[in-house]
Amino acid sequence: MALLFELTDAQEEKAKKWLEEHDCPAKKFMSATGSSPALGERVRFVFVPTMLGDIAVIECSCGAYELLTGWEDL
């Protein structure tokens, strides 16, 4: 059985917006030095299964993270 984790459209929007807008030292460093991770791996998604449903979190390589799941999603 496959385990699938999905973001809703609203969560995907929230993730993109947050990635653009959070105050990101990693992004500043990359644009200042013109360097970027070998595979472009600046972001990762974490899914935490709970009794109420999956909690989705986006994490940036700078260490910042944002919850994408709100109470309305559970």
| Residue 15 makes contact with Zn ion by CB under 5 A | no
CA angle, 31 then 7 then 21, to 5°? 30
Of 12 and 22, the one with the shorter C-beta distance to Zn ion is 22
C-alpha span between 65 and 48 (Å, rounded): 14
Contact residue for Zn ion among 24, 56, 58, 68 (CB under 5 A): 24
Under the binding rule (CB under 5 A), the answer on residue 60 touching Zn ion is yes
Q: What is the CA radius of gyration of the chain?
A: 14
CB of 23 to Zn ion, least distance (A): 8
Q: Give the whole-angstrom CA distance, residue 66 versus residue 32.
A: 24
What residue ranges bind Zn ion (CB under 5 A)?
A: 24, 26, 60, 62, 64
